[in-house]
C-alpha cells in the first residue's frame, strides 16, 4: 500500500510501462508526502475493445486508475495526486485527457499487511523520513 492499478485499453512496450510506473511512484511519494519505496504500481493491459464508458458521443475507450491508499490526507492533496496521474497517463500513454479516470479507496493502516505486520496510519512526518 499504496497500490495504483492502471487498466489500459491497449498494449504498451515494456519501456513505456516502466516509465509510467517510475513516474507514478515518484509523483505519489512527492504529492502524498511519503517515502519513494512505498508505492506499488500494477498495469493491466486489457487490450483494444475491452475497457469503455458511455460518453456524450457514445462508447469511448478509457484508462482507469484505481488507487488503494492509506486514510489521512486532505481532499486537496488527493486531488493533486489525481491531476498528476492524469497528466502522466496523457504524456506517457498518449491517451486523451478526458479518457483518464481516477478513483481512490482509503484504508486504515491496520487493513494493510506489509513486512510482517500491519502498516501504520499515514503521518505527515513521513514527508521527511527516508
Domain ranges across the chain: 3-125
If DSSP codes are grouped into helix, strand and coil, which group holds residue 82?
helix
Q: What pLDDT was estimated at residue 126?
A: 77
pLDDT of residue 4: 97
The DSSP element (H or E) to which 83 belongs, if any, is: helix 75-93
Which three cell numbers mark 120? 501504520
Name the nearest CA neighbour of 103 among 26, 3, 13: 3
- Structure-block grid coordinates of residue 8: 489500459
Facing residues of 105 across strands? 68
What CATH number belongs to 3-125? 3.30.429.10
Q: List residues bridging with 104 in a β-sheet.
A: 67
For the entire predicted model, the pTM comes to 0.88
Q: Of 48, 105, 36, which is closest to residue 73 (Cα–Cα)?
A: 105
* Closest to 8 in 3D by CA, of 78, 101, 81, 105: 101
- Specify whether the CB–CB gap between 102 and 67 falls below 8 A: yes
Q: What is the pLDDT of residues 22-51, one digit of tens each?
A: 999 999 999 999 989 999 999 999 999 999
pLDDT < 50: residue spans in the chain:
none
Amino acid at each position: 500500500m499504496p497500490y495504483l492499478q492502471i487498466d489500459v485499453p491497449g498494449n504498451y512496450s515494456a519501456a513505456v510501462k516502466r516509465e509510467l510506473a517510475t513516474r507514478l511512484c515518484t509523483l505519489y511519494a512527492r504529492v502524498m508526502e511519503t517515502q519513494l519505496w512505498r508505492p506499488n504500481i500494477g498495469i493491466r493491459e486489457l487490450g483494444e475493445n475491452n475497457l469503455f464508458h458511455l460518453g456524450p458521443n457514445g462508447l469511448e475507450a478509457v484508462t482507469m486508475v484505481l488507487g488503494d491508499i492509506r486514510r489521512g490526507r486532505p481532499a486537496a492533496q488527493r486531488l493533486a495526486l489525481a491531476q498528476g496521474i492524469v497528466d502522466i497517463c496523457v504524456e506517457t500513454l498518449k491517451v486523451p485527457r478526458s479518457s483518464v479516470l481516477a478513483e481512490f479507496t482509503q484504508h486504515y493502516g491496520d487493513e494493510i499487511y506489509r513486512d510482517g505486520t500491519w502498516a501504520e496510519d499515514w503521518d505527515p512526518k513521513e514527508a521527511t523520513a527516508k
